[in-house]
Amino acid sequence: MNASVIPIYSALLRRSLGQWRGAGRNRDAPVHLLLCICDHWEPGHGNVAVAQADARVDAWCCQYPNNLGRFRDADGRPPRHSFFYPIEMYRPSEVERIAELCRAGFGEVEVHLHHDNDTAENLRKTLIDWKQLLRERYGLLSTDKQSGEVRYGFIHGNWSLDNSRPDGRWCGVNNELDVLRETGCYADFTMPAYPSDCQTRKINSIYYAVDDPQKPKSHNAGIDVGAAPRPANSLMLIQGPLSLNWSSRKFGLIPRVENANLQGNQPPTGRRLDLWLKARVQVPTRPDWLFVKLHTHGAPEGNQAVLLGKPMVQFHQLLADRAMADKNFHFHYVTAREMYNLARAAEVGWKGPVNDARDFDLVR
C-alpha cells in the first residue's frame, strides 16, 4: 500500500466500523439507484495495431445493443454508457462509429485526456479545439439550455487531475480545474483513483472544488453539493463509491477496497451493488437518490468480456429482478450528463421524478 493512500484506507476503516453515514436502509422508503458507467474508452489502448483497435470498436457497436439492448430501467430506457474518448488517441472512424451507437440511444460521448508536462495555455487550446471538433464534425457533447454554450464532462488520464501526482507527472497544470471550468467542463468524473496516490481525502461525495493555482490537487477538499451555496468559480466533481469489502480480505484478515472499477477480475455482482449503495453518494436534499458512478477501461478484450458479456447481462437481470421483488427499489440508467443534471436538480430542491430531470440544465 502506498504511504500516501494510508490515510484514505484509515478513513474507510473508521467509517466501516461505525461512523459510516446511513449504514442501513429503511426498506419501507423508496430508493432510486442512478447508475452511470464512465468508460475511459481507448480502442488503441496498449498501442495495438489499427486492425485490433477497429475490431474493438466493432465489438462494442455490435455486442452492446445485441446483448444488453433488451433490458429496461424504471423509465423504459436501455443501459446507457458514457464513452470518455481520449483526445490524444483520436481516430475519426472510432468517434464516428461510437457516435452512431450513441445516436441509437445507448450512451453519450465525453472528454478524456492523457497529458504530461503541459501548460495551462496549451491545455486550454487543446480542450477548446477538441470541443469544437466533437460538436461541429460529429454533433456530440451537450448544450447549456440557458447560455447555449457547448459543455462536456471530463476524466483525467492516469488519475492525475489538477497535477495531483506527487512527482508531477501526467499533468503539469496546477490550475487545471479553472481551465476545465472556463472551457465548458460541467463536471469531472475522475475519482475514485484508489490505490493511486492521486486519490483525494474527500470520498463518496458530489461536491464543488475551488482551484488554488498556486498548488496542485485543489479537489482534495470541497463543499458538498446541496449542503451550502455553490462557491464562486468552482467545478463540480462527481465521485464513485469507495468502501471496504469485508467479504474479500487479503491474508484472510485485511478487507480489500471496493473502488467502483469494472474490469476482467472485477465484474459487477449483487454484493458489489450493495456496497455501492451503502457508500451513499448523495445530494442531501434528495436522500432517496443514490448516485452510483462506476468506471472502467472497456475497450480492451479482457474487459469487454465483462462489459459486453455474461457478467453484465447477469447484472442487468439482477437489477430487474430486485426491482420486481422490492416495490421500493427503482433503478435508472443515466449518462454522465444526466447524472450531473440530476445532481443539479437535487441541489435546487427538485421534488419531481428522475426521468423529468435528466435534461435539467444540459441537453444533448
| Cβ–Cβ < 8 Å for 74, 332 | yes
146-162 tens-digit pLDDT: 999 999 999 999 999 99
Confidence band (pLDDT; 50, 70, 90) for 21?
A: very low
Total number of domains in the chain: 1
Query: Does residue 238 lie in a domain region?
Result: yes
Query: Does residue 173 lie in a domain region?
Result: yes
| Cβ–Cβ < 8 Å for 222, 177 | no
Q: What is the predicted pLDDT for the residue at 350?
A: 97
pTM of the model: 0.94
Q: What is the predicted pLDDT for the residue at 12?
A: 77
Residue 325 lies in domain: 3-12+26-363
Q: What is the predicted pLDDT for the residue at 245?
A: 83
Q: Which of 17-26, 74-83, 180-189, 322-331 bottoms out in mean pLDDT, i.e. has the lowest? A: 17-26
Query: Does residue 18 lie in a domain region?
Result: no
Query: Does residue 17 lie in a domain region?
Result: no
**Domain CATH for 120:** 3.20.110.10
Confidence band (pLDDT; 50, 70, 90) for 9?
A: low
284-311 tens-digit pLDDT: 999 999 999 999 999 999 999 999 999 9
Query: Does residue 60 lie in a domain region?
Result: yes
How far is CA 250 from each of CA 197, 243, 247, 262, 269, rounded to the nearest angstrom? 20, 15, 10, 20, 19
Q: How far is 145 from 286, CA to CA, in rounded Å?
A: 23
- Grid coordinates representing 211 are 482551484
Q: How far is 203 from 43, CA to CA, in rounded Å?
A: 30
Query: Does residue 20 lie in a domain region?
Result: no
Query: Does residue 21 lie in a domain region?
Result: no
Query: Does residue 19 lie in a domain region?
Result: no
